[in-house]
Amino acid sequence: MSEFKLSAGRLAASSRTRISCLAALLSALLLMTGVAHAQYGPDDEAEALEAPKPKAEADITLPPMPQPQDMIPFNAGPTARQSYAIDAKSLTVTPDQVVRYTVVSTSPSGAKNVSFESIDCKTKTFKRHAYGGNDGQWTLSRTDKWEPVSSLSQNQFHFTLSQLYLCQAGMVVGNAAEVLERIRYQRVLGF
């Protein structure tokens, strides 16, 4: 009988240890959830929505929303998961070697994303100026940041577009009509 009491005591101690470990684990999970909530909580989202929107750059005029008949599809590379098309009417080349355009990316399920962007051939960077909404209106990007064009990025189409159709030696090759012709007929730049 005393052996049973001893085993029962050990069993109770073992159960308490397990419960303590589970409680500590649960506390840690709740703490991590609280930290994550503190970083990305609804208050921050509300503040972000109420924050003043950035102004468009002085020399940028947002183009009309793209129309299907004006879209020129282009090959975005072997790893592209979406299809891409440039709005021919929106593409411009600036004297400072920046190409501005509207791009429509389409997922395999048919979801579309529209953005008005620039690629700077001198600095090998890109920037999203605005996003097209379902209501046919532009929403200015909240970031005013030029990002590097990279073959390793999630949006590799910027790399493909700049390397194959737009830029060479830090300059735009040709005017808007010549760039559009290269994209339309998939004539890549010679290296």
> What is the reported pLDDT for 64?
97
Angle between helices 42-50 and 2-40 (to 10 degrees): 0
**Most confident residue range from 11-25, 35-49, 157-171:** 157-171
pTM, entire model: 0.69
How confident is residue 17, by pLDDT bands cut at 50, 70 and 90? Answer: low
Give the contacts of 58 (CB within 8 A, at least 6 positions apart): none
pLDDT in tens, 36-86: 333 333 333 343 344 343 344 556 899 999 999 999 999 888 888 899 999
Segment of 6-20, 63-77, 153-167 carrying the highest mean pLDDT: 63-77
Stronger pLDDT, 116 or 43, i.e. the higher one:
116
CA distances to 60, 74, 100, 167 from 67, in Å: 20, 16, 17, 26
Confidence category of residue 26, pLDDT binned at 50, 70, 90: very low
Output b/e per residue, 42-73; b: 16+ Cβ within 10 A: eeeeeeeeeeeeeeeeeebebbebbeeeebbe
At 183 the pLDDT is 96
